[in-house]
Structure 1
Amino acid sequence: MGVDRYRLKGIGREKANLLTQDPTSLCVKVTKEQNMTLSPAFIGSISEGISKQLDSKINDYEPELKGIVLAYEDLQLVSSDASLLADRPFLFIKIKVTYILFQPHIGSILTGVIKEIRESHLVCVVHEMFNATIFQSASNLWDISTLKMGDRLLFEVTEISKNTKIFFLQGKLANLPVDEASTVTGEAEEEHVEKETEDMMTDASEELL
């Protein structure tokens, strides 16, 4: 039985799917069967209850999935009926769903868009959502005069904060040209990059007003 009533937030399913086409994005699809408990309030609207619970996972780090949930799709009910146990006031159901996850790890090479430039560090955004701080050091220097807002750069992940509600990355500049880090070609990838840059430049302009 398929469930087609669900909503997405964050970057949305379309962009999340686009990212999975680029192996360097570290975005993947994982299909999982899982048990779910719902409030009895959803006994007449199981689909709505499932949607709300899955929506609450988006943009959060899920330890069991080892990544940030960007979106989900292909949602199905595995159990045909929701069961309500006498000693527990919840509905128990089983679902199958495909998650789109962002799964960076220490040593990963990612592309960021610069949104803040400081003498000691840079702040970038990855996939329009995740902040990454790139620190300058004696062994990892850059010429600040060559950088500008909206520039794309490659960095190596050196630290990951995996707090469920607050996720951010730290890194150092990677010694690779940007062109060598991306394997995606064509109009779809170009549109995604241009949107990231445009959003960052818009944010910067608003801050100056």
Structure 2
Amino acid sequence: MAASMEHTRLTFSEAKSLISKCSFSHLEAVSSKRHVVLPPKFFNSILQGVREHLNSELQLVASWTDGVLMAYNNVKILETVGRIFDESPYIHFNVNADFIMFRPAVGCLLKGIVNKKSTYHVGCLVHQCFNASIHKPRDLESEWEGTQLQIGEEFIFKVTNIYTNNGVLSLRGNIHIEK
């Protein structure tokens, strides 16, 4: 049984509100300086180029920080002129912005919403963006809690593995049962 739940991008205010609302969000607000390299087509519209560059990094593992860029706001270009090096036509700028980063770790608890289900597997979305896969433990002989979950239901799971493919974050976990 499978259902379609569309991956969406959170606005800065939506992501920021999740930080305070959800103890399992693993979202963090940071103000940070960032180096951005823009192609020549943005010589007359630097701010637009910076925004397009940052938009292209949304929901991807960010090489410049330990986490996934979820949203940004308050972009400020820190120099009045950019730099061009050697024969390269690209222009270099330092910018500052407020960023919301997703920083899960193995062992942390997250909330997921079921979007796929089978006898031995539950698929879910975290923050409407990231796929998480929950498998029935091989050595479990009693009934698995995953069979009770329904499409669209929210549940808590413990992260057992984090992996990326081309910058896309995926999670693996086990259903968390409070004892």
Scaled by the length of structure 2, the TM-score of the pair is: 0.85
Is residue 35–residue 94 contact of structure 1 (8 Å, CA) maintained in 2?
yes
Is residue 113–residue 125 contact of structure 2 (8 Å, CA) maintained in 1?
yes
Q: Which runs of 5+ in 1 are unaligned?
A: 1-8, 178-209
Moved over 6 A (4+): none
Per the alignment, residue 19 of structure 1 pairs with 18
Distance 1:145 1:24 in 2: 23
Is residue 122–residue 135 contact of structure 2 (8 Å, CA) maintained in 1?
yes
The alpha-carbon distance between structure 1 residues 147 and 24, as it changes in their structure 2 partners (threshold 3 A), is closer
The one-letter code of the counterpart of 1:172 is N
Distance 2:11 2:110 in 1: 20
Aligned residues: 169
Per the alignment, residue 187 of structure 1 pairs with none
The Cα offsets for residues 53-100 of structure 1, whole Å up to 9 and x where unpaired, read as 111000111133111111111211111212334532221211111211
Is residue 62–residue 164 contact of structure 1 (8 Å, CA) maintained in 2?
no
Per the alignment, residue 43 of structure 2 pairs with 43
The one-letter code of the counterpart of 1:54 is L
- Structure 1 position 103 matched with structure 2 position 133: no
CA RMSD of aligned residues (A): 2.0
Distance 2:143 2:38 in 1: 52
SS at match of 1:14: helix
The one-letter code of the counterpart of 1:88 is S
- Structure 1 position 118 matched with structure 2 position 133: no
Q: Which has the higher strand share?
A: 2
Distance 2:146 2:164 in 1: 30
The alpha-carbon distance between structure 1 residues 91 and 146, as it changes in their structure 2 partners (threshold 3 A), is closer
SS at match of 1:24: coil
Per the alignment, residue 156 of structure 1 pairs with 158
Aligned with 1:166 (options 150, 165, 168): 168
The alpha-carbon distance between structure 1 residues 32 and 164, as it changes in their structure 2 partners (threshold 3 A), is farther
The Cα offsets for residues 108-133 of structure 1, whole Å up to 9 and x where unpaired, read as 10111112221111111111111111
The alpha-carbon distance between structure 1 residues 156 and 144, as it changes in their structure 2 partners (threshold 3 A), is closer
The one-letter code of the counterpart of 1:117 is K
The alpha-carbon distance between structure 1 residues 163 and 144, as it changes in their structure 2 partners (threshold 3 A), is closer
**1:145 CA displacement:** 5.3
Distance 1:74 1:149 in 2: 37
Percent identical? 24
Instruction: Note the 1:183-202 alignment, pairs <5 A.
Output: none
Is residue 113–residue 155 contact of structure 2 (8 Å, CA) maintained in 1?
yes
SS at match of 1:47: helix
The one-letter code of the counterpart of 1:125 is L
Distance 1:163 1:31 in 2: 27
The alpha-carbon distance between structure 1 residues 147 and 35, as it changes in their structure 2 partners (threshold 3 A), is closer
SS at match of 2:24: helix
**1:134 CA displacement:** 0.7
Per the alignment, residue 65 of structure 2 pairs with 65
The alpha-carbon distance between structure 1 residues 14 and 104, as it changes in their structure 2 partners (threshold 3 A), is same
The alpha-carbon distance between structure 1 residues 40 and 107, as it changes in their structure 2 partners (threshold 3 A), is same
Is residue 146–residue 175 contact of structure 2 (8 Å, CA) maintained in 1?
no
**1:19 CA displacement:** 1.4
